[in-house]
Amino acid sequence: MKNFIMQLFKGVFLSYIITLILLLFFAFLLTYASIDDNNIGIAIAIITIVALFVGGFYTATRLTINGWVSGLLVGGMYFILLAIIIFIVTNEYGFTSNSLKLLATALTGGALGGIIGVNMKNN
């Protein structure tokens, strides 16, 4: 059980590291390239999916449970931790349509990574 929880936290931590790196790269692109403001939301969704795909993949290759379950757990933990951070920073939290989009994106990215990760492990 201790290994299970540790691997989940490692997957979430890896997802946050990848999110940070990709957001810094995207900020660089926004600064030096002409990117339409309408594409920012799409880029952030893609960054979230990629980061959680990697986190779910990493976790699923190290755990013995179903890949989609480990991926969903990584995505859910990512979302909950982000909600806590937002609450601490802004001192307000409202569950909006953007929150639901982020939750769906996080769960989807994590689950896809988990499914592929567990299948790569089994091969």
Determine the Cα–Cα distance for residues 99 and 30; give it in Å rounded to an integer: 24
Determine the Cα–Cα distance for residues 88 and 83; give it in Å rounded to an integer: 9
Q: So what's the pLDDT on residue 25?
A: 95
Beta carbons within 10 angstroms of residue 108's beta carbon: 19
Q: So what's the pLDDT on residue 87?
A: 86
Contact predicate 52/110, CB 8 Å? yes
Q: At what angle do helices 97-122 and 67-90 cross, to 10 degrees?
A: 150
Cα Dmax for the chain: 49
Give the range of the structural domain holding residue 103, as residue numbers without chain letter: 2-122
Chain segment 66-113, per-residue pLDDT in tens = 889 999 999 999 999 998 988 888 877 777 788 889 999 999 999 999
Number of domains in the chain: 1
